[in-house]
Structure 1
Protein backbone atom coordinates (compact mmCIF):
# COMPACT_ATOMS: atom_id res chain seq x y z
CA UNK A 1 0.00 0.00 0.00
CA UNK A 2 1.33 3.41 -0.93
CA UNK A 3 1.39 6.12 1.68
CA UNK A 4 1.63 9.86 1.27
CA UNK A 5 2.74 12.33 3.87
CA UNK A 6 2.52 16.00 3.05
CA UNK A 7 3.73 19.23 4.58
CA UNK A 8 2.13 22.42 3.36
CA UNK A 9 2.65 25.93 4.67
CA UNK A 10 1.49 29.24 3.19
CA UNK A 11 2.51 32.70 4.38
CA UNK A 12 3.10 36.25 3.22
CA UNK A 13 6.81 36.96 3.79
CA UNK A 14 9.25 39.61 2.75
CA UNK A 15 12.05 38.73 0.29
CA UNK A 16 14.69 38.49 3.07
CA UNK A 17 12.65 35.84 4.94
CA UNK A 18 12.18 33.83 1.75
CA UNK A 19 15.90 34.11 1.04
CA UNK A 20 16.60 32.66 4.52
CA UNK A 21 14.24 29.75 3.81
CA UNK A 22 15.93 29.05 0.46
CA UNK A 23 19.33 29.10 2.21
CA UNK A 24 18.03 26.57 4.74
CA UNK A 25 16.80 24.33 1.93
CA UNK A 26 20.18 24.62 0.21
CA UNK A 27 22.01 23.73 3.42
CA UNK A 28 19.70 20.75 4.01
CA UNK A 29 20.27 19.48 0.47
CA UNK A 30 24.02 19.65 1.11
CA UNK A 31 23.63 17.63 4.30
CA UNK A 32 21.21 15.14 2.72
CA UNK A 33 18.46 15.92 5.22
CA UNK A 34 15.53 18.36 5.06
CA UNK A 35 13.12 18.83 7.94
CA UNK A 36 9.98 20.86 7.40
CA UNK A 37 7.94 21.81 10.45
CA UNK A 38 5.34 24.22 11.77
CA UNK A 39 2.69 24.11 14.48
CA UNK A 40 0.78 21.46 12.49
CA UNK A 41 3.56 18.88 12.21
CA UNK A 42 6.94 17.82 10.85
CA UNK A 43 8.10 16.04 7.70
CA UNK A 44 11.68 14.80 7.25
CA UNK A 45 13.12 14.08 3.80
CA UNK A 46 16.45 12.49 2.82
CA UNK A 47 17.50 13.67 -0.67
CA UNK A 48 20.24 11.48 -2.12
CA UNK A 49 21.65 10.60 -5.52
CA UNK A 50 20.59 12.46 -8.63
CA UNK A 51 17.71 14.86 -8.11
CA UNK A 52 15.16 15.99 -10.71
CA UNK A 53 14.90 19.78 -10.92
CA UNK A 54 12.18 21.80 -12.60
CA UNK A 55 12.18 25.61 -12.56
CA UNK A 56 9.35 27.62 -14.09
CA UNK A 57 8.63 31.34 -14.18
CA UNK A 58 5.64 33.24 -15.48
CA UNK A 59 4.01 36.61 -15.71
CA UNK A 60 0.31 37.27 -16.20
CA UNK A 61 -1.27 40.71 -15.89
CA UNK A 62 0.01 42.09 -12.57
CA UNK A 63 1.11 38.72 -11.15
CA UNK A 64 4.62 37.29 -11.43
CA UNK A 65 5.78 34.00 -9.97
CA UNK A 66 8.39 31.30 -10.07
CA UNK A 67 8.22 27.70 -8.92
CA UNK A 68 11.02 25.33 -7.99
CA UNK A 69 10.32 21.61 -7.88
CA UNK A 70 12.88 19.05 -6.75
CA UNK A 71 12.18 15.32 -6.50
CA UNK A 72 14.05 12.05 -6.16
CA UNK A 73 13.44 8.36 -5.70
CA UNK A 74 14.01 6.89 -2.25
CA UNK A 75 15.04 3.64 -3.91
CA UNK A 76 16.33 4.50 -7.39
CA UNK A 77 15.62 1.97 -10.10
CA UNK A 78 18.62 -0.08 -11.14
CA UNK A 79 19.53 0.78 -14.71
CA UNK A 80 21.91 -1.04 -17.01
CA UNK A 81 25.34 0.52 -17.40
CA UNK A 82 25.81 -1.12 -20.81
CA UNK A 83 24.58 0.46 -24.05
CA UNK A 84 22.09 -1.55 -26.11
CA UNK A 85 23.17 -3.40 -29.22
CA UNK A 86 21.74 -1.79 -32.31
CA UNK A 87 22.31 -3.26 -35.76
CA UNK A 88 21.63 -1.50 -39.00
Structure 2
Protein backbone atom coordinates (compact mmCIF):
# COMPACT_ATOMS: atom_id res chain seq x y z
CA UNK A 1 0.00 0.00 0.00
CA UNK A 2 1.08 3.56 -0.61
CA UNK A 3 1.99 5.77 2.31
CA UNK A 4 -0.23 8.80 2.88
CA UNK A 5 -0.33 11.83 5.15
CA UNK A 6 -4.05 11.96 5.95
CA UNK A 7 -6.58 9.39 6.99
CA UNK A 8 -10.34 9.81 7.29
CA UNK A 9 -12.99 7.17 7.76
CA UNK A 10 -16.71 7.58 8.35
CA UNK A 11 -19.14 4.77 9.15
CA UNK A 12 -22.28 3.90 11.06
CA UNK A 13 -21.19 1.42 13.74
CA UNK A 14 -22.71 -0.01 16.87
CA UNK A 15 -21.24 0.99 20.26
CA UNK A 16 -19.33 -2.31 20.65
CA UNK A 17 -17.46 -1.74 17.35
CA UNK A 18 -16.57 1.82 18.36
CA UNK A 19 -15.40 0.52 21.73
CA UNK A 20 -13.07 -1.93 19.91
CA UNK A 21 -11.64 0.93 17.83
CA UNK A 22 -11.06 3.05 20.94
CA UNK A 23 -9.31 0.09 22.61
CA UNK A 24 -7.05 -0.28 19.55
CA UNK A 25 -6.20 3.44 19.72
CA UNK A 26 -5.47 3.12 23.45
CA UNK A 27 -3.21 0.12 22.84
CA UNK A 28 -1.37 1.97 20.06
CA UNK A 29 -0.83 4.99 22.29
CA UNK A 30 0.67 2.69 24.91
CA UNK A 31 3.03 1.13 22.35
CA UNK A 32 3.96 4.50 20.81
CA UNK A 33 2.69 3.61 17.33
CA UNK A 34 -0.71 3.96 15.66
CA UNK A 35 -1.29 2.56 12.18
CA UNK A 36 -4.36 3.69 10.27
CA UNK A 37 -5.07 1.93 6.97
CA UNK A 38 -7.68 1.47 4.29
CA UNK A 39 -7.70 0.47 0.63
CA UNK A 40 -5.98 3.77 -0.25
CA UNK A 41 -2.91 3.43 1.96
CA UNK A 42 -1.39 3.46 5.41
CA UNK A 43 -0.68 6.29 7.83
CA UNK A 44 1.58 5.52 10.80
CA UNK A 45 1.74 7.93 13.73
CA UNK A 46 4.28 7.77 16.55
CA UNK A 47 3.06 9.64 19.62
CA UNK A 48 5.79 10.63 22.04
CA UNK A 49 6.39 13.02 24.90
CA UNK A 50 3.53 15.01 26.34
CA UNK A 51 0.33 14.83 24.29
CA UNK A 52 -2.29 17.57 24.02
CA UNK A 53 -5.79 16.27 24.78
CA UNK A 54 -9.08 18.01 24.06
CA UNK A 55 -12.39 16.37 24.96
CA UNK A 56 -15.69 18.07 24.17
CA UNK A 57 -19.33 16.98 24.32
CA UNK A 58 -22.55 18.60 23.18
CA UNK A 59 -26.26 18.05 22.91
CA UNK A 60 -28.62 19.73 20.45
CA UNK A 61 -32.27 18.73 20.24
CA UNK A 62 -32.19 15.12 18.94
CA UNK A 63 -28.39 14.84 18.50
CA UNK A 64 -25.65 14.16 21.02
CA UNK A 65 -21.94 13.86 20.31
CA UNK A 66 -18.49 13.87 21.80
CA UNK A 67 -15.13 14.56 20.20
CA UNK A 68 -11.67 13.49 21.29
CA UNK A 69 -8.63 15.22 19.84
CA UNK A 70 -5.04 14.23 20.61
CA UNK A 71 -1.98 15.87 19.10
CA UNK A 72 1.74 16.09 19.67
CA UNK A 73 4.89 17.47 18.11
CA UNK A 74 6.94 15.04 16.05
CA UNK A 75 10.08 16.52 17.55
CA UNK A 76 9.09 17.66 21.04
CA UNK A 77 11.12 20.40 22.61
CA UNK A 78 13.40 19.30 25.41
CA UNK A 79 13.36 21.67 28.31
CA UNK A 80 15.99 22.03 30.99
CA UNK A 81 15.16 20.37 34.29
CA UNK A 82 17.55 22.69 36.15
CA UNK A 83 16.32 25.72 38.04
CA UNK A 84 17.61 29.04 36.75
CA UNK A 85 19.94 31.13 38.90
CA UNK A 86 18.16 34.26 40.03
CA UNK A 87 19.81 36.86 42.23
CA UNK A 88 18.08 39.60 44.16
TM-score normalized by structure 1? 0.85
CA distance in structure 2 between the aligned counterparts of 1:84 and 1:73, rounded to whole angstroms:
29
- Aligned to 1:24, the other structure's residue is in SS state helix
Aligned pairs, number: 84
CA distance in structure 2 between the aligned counterparts of 1:41 and 1:85, rounded to whole angstroms:
53
- Aligned to 2:25, the other structure's residue is in SS state helix
Question: What is the Cα deviation at residue 77 of structure 1?
Answer: 2.2
- Whether 2:31 is the aligned partner of 1:38: answer no
Look up the match of 1:55: 55
TM-score normalized by structure 2? 0.85
Kindly indicate whether structure 1 or structure 2 has the higher relative contact order, using CA contacts under 8 Å at least 6 residues apart: 2
CA distance in structure 2 between the aligned counterparts of 1:76 and 1:69, rounded to whole angstroms:
18
Unpaired runs of 5+ residues, structure 1, are none
Look up the match of 1:13: 13
Unpaired runs of 5+ residues, structure 2, are none
Detail structure 1 runs of 4+ shifted over 2 Å in the superposition. 77-87
CA distance in structure 1 between the aligned counterparts of 2:50 and 2:10, rounded to whole angstroms:
28
CA RMSD of aligned residues (A): 1.9
